[in-house]
Structure 1
């Protein structure tokens, strides 16, 4: 049986990880990223509540001969519930999506809970070999981090769900094989082929697809859904990957433009180009062309070129060298697929486009540019497998400093957005950099323009902020003003020449806090437009503090943990001290592990150069390392508590060291090839993961000696605290920065060391002195 169990755990763990990532991808198309975080986090609580279900099953069914049957049933029901949950999500009237996050999260909560019950039941039953079980669990999850990259690319988010359901059905067959009745293996086989066949049927015929949320819910509506309400709009191509879903939309009344949406958000435009300058001459009337009023044959860097309008305008403006950095892999295949329409602009002479994170590329490149475009790069992405939604490092104060350093003396940064409030935040960010004590102030280095309002219906490129490395000369400002008038573009602010509301409220110089307070005094609902840092990279989040939904979720999880702990203590059979110890033990591991994991993903994103690479490499290294550590811990028969103490202390010290020196390590290797940076990342993470993989299985093996029936409840507490750690990471990251997130995680492991030390000195482990 143990061999079957190890294989089944591997398959189920792999599948659940892929299911989680697929859910994040599906919800990321449907909703804004804060909503995605809330719903997925609540759904993930199901893994913890699965421990309670497991405890109930064990209490109701105490026949040892039923163990295999129970495990088989849990695995099979997981296989069935996963595709059913996604079908229900896709068929739920989407006007009701915002009626309650709890209501919509209950649908995916069910399969997570059943899967959690499977893990908990198995761990409680075979706790004596917990090191091997946990090894199989973590290696399966680590493999899922890699496998999902290919599944989403091949099948898309919805079909990947059916694929993993087939994998879990295969796991159920392991327990059905050699069963006394033929019904079990037949059911498993039917489920396997049904799900596997449906992958290809739905792939070709689209029985189930992402529905559209009505624009009557403005808080939830994505621009893609608003566009879809136009009778002339049609989605002509869709591509999925682990980064996002990307759609190409065309409008019958706009034959020369196609719109590319990433996760349904603000689109980038792809224009018709037949290779002749005449075919794109109309782009001279856009805000993109403004920088070419003064610069001759400039070298251009486009961060996030998308459909290529930045590149086309640069060609039109006579640029001598054009470099693009695009983070979405699907954009490249889309540009190749529609090369007949866009003139194969990504491969145009003098043009070179890289697949990379824009900020990471800028930090590594030694080139300097005359123009750096940041056009509609404002989109948040769901970081798969963590439930954490982040925005990257494109718009932080540190990033804008890097961009300015990569400009030639007369160079300029061109920031283009659809959102006026983000324009103000970008302005405030540049102001904080340029308005230093040793300079004359930031205002002489910035200009603001706006597309004509009548163009708002057809273009997302509305507001433009141009920031220079040095003060703009009077002659240069006059040229920009004349160019704007010629192109029909509104001039909002040119220092010393034009100052329209709200910039008419300022004189020649203004400090950051005066700017921010003045802008907010003019708004009906004040927002947070202060600059953000690399440690708190929430540029799109304009709220003050933490959204109330996050606080409610955090409090709800803690209440559930307290209730579970209360039940365990009530049934501790006179061992309340050691029971309380194990409650704290597994709670600290759950929260601490997630706090550290989320920090590492965030931190390595810039170093590795792509969010998808960061998630995959960090999670795989951490989970694989922990799995190996768990496997090795199974070989230890004596002094487990002492080994847990050592591993907890080492973990805390390692990450305090990383907090102090990781940035310096990155600076040393940042300019190396991506493969070497991946290797360095694995070397930094895997050994730490090895140490972190020791406490959990060792704790289960120890508690097995005392009170086996509490294992399911301790699994519940650990699972809930893992979600709590994820939410807490976002709360701390938003309010104090991700460095504080890591410090909190490290301190929790050091606290684990102290409670183990205390318990050992109090001789609480008396059943076996070897502990």
Structure 2
């Protein structure tokens, strides 16, 4: 049974916008209160709600068709209520992912969190799927277009809103948007007593929000912010929010902050008064009170990052990631007279330079500092400036870094191509200084050293071993890379610098084994041994035999913080009773865990309707045709997200700003896919649904292959253009690919409306499950093989879909699974 009345396009768009916005917001919220990798796991499980909706609707399709008007509005309203209540209850559940391997209670808690967060997506997806089941096939393309365009608008509006609205308040806003969608749904559908139902909806909404508690973010007790707030006298004095991070300022007049990473144990100078700044509840930095006399900053000269100033005073300095200004204060202490500061997050600069200027002083606002609110590589590619010293220090928190929690984070600051760019901007005898947190057993510092060595090799420079120098202490390591050879005099100064601060020399070309590992003792001189092996050209042998992954990151595989190896993981698990768990790279483990769980659950839930679906004599079973539904909708579900993620990564290298890249690319993909869906019905008027889908898929694959070949050269030619023009070019390039991507799904659904409407929710569910798996699968492929492989896999999957289009009507076949 189909309805010839006008479909609820507006409420569907609002619902899709709210659901996509809710997904993005959950990622932000759980990144703040937990960790990025935990957010990844939770969202992957919660999004199974899209597939679950299809599995459940396929069990009783007749009821859906008979009661569509009531069920559609009810599903939209339940999304609105469950989106906010689900998060409140989910964040109140105490959960520690590391305990999964020995505490069964954590598994039950994870399942409960999954169910609470899956409900909103299940309700939203059910409402969308019901429209495909209820309305005639001539409207399918328009309904799917409304779904995609609504999602695209929801993505861009949510990203903008996060700049101005606190996440917990934005959660309320998205819930109210769902309520508004309900009121419009009642108006748009053929439901009786519209005014009464709308008044009841408003009344229930008022009662619901009156009863729910105030939304407060419950930070994980393992995050630095939660631990800091347990210290007597600590209190939150200010907060800011944006997609780049949730900023929390903490003051403690009783037990002051003393944040000076890598500070020498011999330091006698007291750090200046500080206000702690936490990003997403971790990643501590500090706004420091500006001194009356520069000599008060002498403690900053007692850190490993100060070494470069003792080898040569720079005339021109570039600080990448200037943040709260610690590196700038260090430069002030050393009387550097020409400084360029690069900072991506404008809110941090606003805090230091405006809101707390009376405290922070003229750390940015002075005659010898030039500030750029830009991404580092974007600035360097467009600048003709050369530098005596480029500094890049501590871009992530110590605790998360040491636990491998950034393993899933893409970073283009530490790739091979980035290193080559930095080195190309050094003047003769200029120095690149990079400071990182120490991880034990060593891996982070060694991977950085290997990346620098390989970058120098690729630039075909001679005597590479004489261009590298590394020191360390108990907390940080600093690597210096010189556009020239380190002289004997500079090595003597390095030895003196380390001796007077109890720092260890880890590498230079004249260093002897007995000169390393003197003060901050390790059981073995592992830093010295590994860097020697790299410098002597044995990197491949080290990569193969070392317990952690040390392969340098590239722009195609930008996962610098990925150190996972199965060998070390198994060994750490065996030692879990004696302190082995901190050795596990949790980010990658959680990724594999989420992919495994979602894959298993998806497989079981796809098969569920086959066992429980009511039989119909008019639709005899056919495993072959059932396989075509699984093959087609599974393939396009996997491929859509693979190609979207892979392409967004490529455009991030073009735009060099993560928020601009995601906002422009995601919105363009969804909105133009919606346009493609809208146009698909016109295309099918001239040829069969199967041929129309085939034409779209072939065109998509050809465009994808062409982009793989031409985009690198095109980006190099256009990289100098202003950001607004580059965003416009990004949208124009994505448009033809996205239009083609929007056609295969609605064409197949429209084809199934001819004689197998009952299987539409099952197909919707399969597509949903595949999309969830695709998110984790794309990251695994990118980490192991690169984003080019991700795109090639997507193209192969679309070609597979060509052979499994679920339409046998042309042959007169009937269909039943």
Same structural fold, with TM-score higher than 0.5 when normalized by the shorter chain: yes
Helix, strand or coil at the partner of 1:543: coil
**Alignment partner, residue 193 of structure 2:** 180
Shift in CA distance, 520/156, structure 1 to aligned 2, threshold 3 Å: farther
1:401 is displaced (CA, Å) by: 1.4
Helix, strand or coil at the partner of 1:580: helix
**Alignment partner, residue 114 of structure 2:** 105
1:644 is displaced (CA, Å) by: 1.0
- Tell me, yes or no, if structure 1 residue 556 matches structure 2 residue 609: no
1:667 is displaced (CA, Å) by: 0.6
1:562 is displaced (CA, Å) by: 4.9
Trace 1:390-401 onto structure 2 (pairs within 5 A): 390-401=409-420
Shift in CA distance, 55/561, structure 1 to aligned 2, threshold 3 Å: closer
Q: Deviations over 1:234-291 (max 9, x none)?
A: 3322222122212222333326122322223322232111575345343233333221
Q: Is the 8 A contact 2:65 2:134 kept in 1?
A: no
Q: Is the 8 A contact 2:655 2:723 kept in 1?
A: yes
Indicate the larger mover: 529-538 or 92-101: 92-101
Trace 1:690-701 onto structure 2 (pairs within 5 A): 690-701=739-750
In structure 2, how many angstroms separate the alpha carbons of the residues matched to 1:672 and 1:574? 58
Trace 1:337-486 onto structure 2 (pairs within 5 A): 337-378=355-396, 389-420=408-439, 421-434=443-456, 441-451=463-473, 453=474, 462-486=476-500
In structure 2, how many angstroms separate the alpha carbons of the residues matched to 1:19 and 1:231? 36
1:745 is displaced (CA, Å) by: 0.5
Equivalent of 1:591 in 623, 626, 638: 638
**Alignment partner, residue 783 of structure 2:** 734
In structure 1, how many angstroms separate the alpha carbons of the residues matched to 2:527 and 2:564? 23
Q: Deviations over 1:710-742 (max 9, x none)?
A: 100100000101112112101111111111000
Indicate the larger mover: 83-92 or 33-42: 33-42
In structure 2, how many angstroms separate the alpha carbons of the residues matched to 1:261 and 1:375? 16
**Alignment partner, residue 526 of structure 2:** 502
In structure 2, how many angstroms separate the alpha carbons of the residues matched to 1:700 and 1:731? 30
In structure 2, how many angstroms separate the alpha carbons of the residues matched to 1:85 and 1:250? 32
**Alignment partner, residue 140 of structure 2:** 130
**Alignment partner, residue 565 of structure 2:** 544
Helix, strand or coil at the partner of 2:364: helix
Q: Is the 8 A contact 1:569 1:579 kept in 2?
A: no
Shift in CA distance, 300/192, structure 1 to aligned 2, threshold 3 Å: farther
For the aligned residue pairs, the C-alpha RMSD in angstroms reads 3.2
Q: Is the 8 A contact 1:4 1:174 kept in 2?
A: no
- Tell me, yes or no, if structure 1 residue 627 matches structure 2 residue 674: yes
Q: Deviations over 1:370-406 (max 9, x none)?
A: 212111124799xxxxx99532211112211111111
Helix, strand or coil at the partner of 2:22: helix
Indicate the larger mover: 188-197 or 10-19: 188-197
Helix, strand or coil at the partner of 2:256: coil
Q: Deviations over 1:431-466 (max 9, x none)?
A: 223357965554322222234x4xx6xxxxx22222
Equivalent of 1:289 in 280, 302, 306: 306
- Tell me, yes or no, if structure 1 residue 46 matches structure 2 residue 46: no
Q: Is the 8 A contact 1:647 1:691 kept in 2?
A: yes
1:697 is displaced (CA, Å) by: 1.1
In structure 2, how many angstroms separate the alpha carbons of the residues matched to 1:647 and 1:102? 40
Q: Deviations over 1:211-249 (max 9, x none)?
A: 1323xxxxxx33333333322433322222122212222
Shift in CA distance, 314/569, structure 1 to aligned 2, threshold 3 Å: farther
1:188 is displaced (CA, Å) by: 2.1
Which consecutive unaligned segments of at least 5 residues does structure 2 have? Answer: 101-105, 258-272, 401-405, 518-524, 567-587
Shift in CA distance, 535/319, structure 1 to aligned 2, threshold 3 Å: same
1:95 is displaced (CA, Å) by: 5.2
**Alignment partner, residue 554 of structure 2:** 533
- Tell me, yes or no, if structure 1 residue 79 matches structure 2 residue 83: no
Which consecutive unaligned segments of at least 5 residues does structure 1 have? Answer: 215-220, 382-386, 457-461
1:37 is displaced (CA, Å) by: 1.5
Q: Deviations over 1:504-526 (max 9, x none)?
A: 437977457746866998x8xx2
Indicate the larger mover: 161-170 or 539-548: 539-548
In structure 2, how many angstroms separate the alpha carbons of the residues matched to 1:473 and 1:663? 39
In structure 2, how many angstroms separate the alpha carbons of the residues matched to 1:187 and 1:70? 16
Q: Is the 8 A contact 1:646 1:753 kept in 2?
A: no
1:134 is displaced (CA, Å) by: 1.0
Equivalent of 2:315 in 287, 293, 298: 298
1:530 is displaced (CA, Å) by: 2.4
Equivalent of 1:313 in 323, 327, 330: 330
In structure 1, how many angstroms separate the alpha carbons of the residues matched to 2:668 and 2:551? 36
Helix, strand or coil at the partner of 1:230: coil
1:673 is displaced (CA, Å) by: 0.6
Trace 1:604-643 onto structure 2 (pairs within 5 A): 604-635=651-682, 636-639=684-687, 640-643=689-692
Q: Deviations over 1:187-217 (max 9, x none)?
A: 322355568899xx99xxxx32221323xxx
1:306 is displaced (CA, Å) by: 1.3
Indicate the larger mover: 84-93 or 620-629: 84-93
Helix, strand or coil at the partner of 2:165: helix
Shift in CA distance, 506/428, structure 1 to aligned 2, threshold 3 Å: closer
Q: Deviations over 1:24-73 (max 9, x none)?
A: 001112333332212211111111111123234534x2673x22111111
Helix, strand or coil at the partner of 1:92: coil
In structure 2, how many angstroms separate the alpha carbons of the residues matched to 1:265 and 1:569? 52
Trace 1:509-528 onto structure 2 (pairs within 5 A): 510-511=534-535, 514=538, 526-528=547-549
**Alignment partner, residue 119 of structure 1:** 128
In structure 1, how many angstroms separate the alpha carbons of the residues matched to 2:308 and 2:369? 18
Indicate the larger mover: 146-155 or 163-172: 146-155
**Alignment partner, residue 584 of structure 2:** none
Q: Is the 8 A contact 1:37 1:389 kept in 2?
A: no
- Tell me, yes or no, if structure 1 residue 748 matches structure 2 residue 797: yes
- Tell me, yes or no, if structure 1 residue 242 matches structure 2 residue 243: yes
In structure 2, how many angstroms separate the alpha carbons of the residues matched to 1:527 and 1:329? 36
Number of residue pairs the alignment of both structures matches: 736
Q: Is the 8 A contact 1:78 1:114 kept in 2?
A: yes
Indicate the larger mover: 81-90 or 25-34: 25-34
Shift in CA distance, 193/353, structure 1 to aligned 2, threshold 3 Å: farther
Shift in CA distance, 324/564, structure 1 to aligned 2, threshold 3 Å: farther
- Tell me, yes or no, if structure 1 residue 327 matches structure 2 residue 344: yes
1:489 is displaced (CA, Å) by: 4.3
TM-score (norm 2): 0.83
In structure 2, how many angstroms separate the alpha carbons of the residues matched to 1:650 and 1:350? 54
Helix, strand or coil at the partner of 2:236: strand
Q: Is the 8 A contact 2:141 2:680 kept in 1?
A: yes
In structure 2, how many angstroms separate the alpha carbons of the residues matched to 1:629 and 1:437? 45
